[in-house]
Structure 1
């Protein structure tokens, strides 16, 4: 069973910045107990407080994960992966690394296509894709936007070190999603490597797509 600290970190990772009151409600404990928990996490360098002013009343304080807080979530074999990528690039050049990524893309695409087999609607395909990605450690979920489109959200990147060393992985994943969800349009609107807290993809059904 996760500890209160683990539950707080998980909530901030998947839901973004939150107030002490919101976290207390999530945990089902008092604000005072939550505040004490946050102070301990802040002392450990895992969370940070941001104060914003919004109209009349006291300033609003929200809690966010620090870089150390994000690092509590696994980046699969990060150092070894980066070293291997550097070795491939040094031995075979950028073209060799591109071939390696394309091979991984083809293998991943086949696996995802098998998982989505039989899913006849866009919603069903999103549900299965999110489930597979969640199982792979991406903390994936999907949700309607309210205007006929959908968001595919990945709250964590378990290959972040590799993606930072070679952004071909990010290009490859976007290409796979576009193929799997076609004829819907898929656009990445949040990107962890560009400073966002998550990666998010806007999925627009073909019938809702604006004219070109």
Structure 2
């Protein structure tokens, strides 16, 4: 069973920075209880705050995860994966690593096409794709924007270390989304490796 602290960390990971009152409401606790939780998490180095001034009244604290807080959502087998990538690069060079990434892409494409079979329309395909990626640990979700386009978001990257060691994985996954959602256009607008807190894609049908 998740503790309140776990709930707060998950909210900050999946939804981004939030104020104490919003976190209290989401967790079903009082604002004072939430404030105590945030102070404990801050003391552990898991969260930090920025001061926001919005009109008249006292400034608000906006809480977000620290690097240590993000590390509570681990990168799957990170060290071993990086070591394997470096070994492939040393043994077979960049072309060999490119072939490895391409092979992974083909395997994923086959599995994703089977999973999306029968999903009619862009929204149905987005929903199915989000389910697949969420099951793989990406905390994926999507929504329709006011301009009619869609925002596909991945709040966590379980292969972040691998992607950092070989950016081909990120290029491959963007290509995979384009194939699964074609003829819609897919554009990456936020990138975790570029300093964003998540990866996000705008999808236009």
TM-score by length of 1: 0.95
CA distance in 1, matches of 2:114, 2:50: 44
Aligned position for 2:196: 196
SS in 1 for 2:176: helix
Aligned runs of 1:35-184 on 2, under 5 Å?
Answer: 35-184=35-184
Q: How many pairs are equivalent?
A: 205
Q: CA deviation at 1:57?
A: 2.2
CA distance in 2, matches of 1:116, 1:152: 16
**RMSD between superposed Cα atoms in Å:** 0.7
- Show CA shifts across 1:51-81 (max 9, x none): 1223332212110000010000021100000
CA distance in 1, matches of 2:151, 2:54: 28
- Show CA shifts across 1:127-159 (max 9, x none): 000000000000001110122111111000000
- 5+ residue gaps, structure 2, are none
SS in 2 for 1:63: strand
SS in 2 for 1:57: coil
CA distance in 2, matches of 1:34, 1:129: 34
Aligned position for 2:24: 24
CA distance in 2, matches of 1:68, 1:37: 16
CA distance in 1, matches of 2:111, 2:147: 31
Runs of 4+ in 1 over 4 A off after TM superposition: none
CA distance in 2, matches of 1:65, 1:59: 20
- 5+ residue gaps, structure 1, are 206-212
CA distance in 1, matches of 2:37, 2:59: 21
SS in 1 for 2:141: strand
Q: CA deviation at 1:101?
A: 0.2
- Show CA shifts across 1:143-193 (max 9, x none): 101221111110000000000011100000000000110110000001110
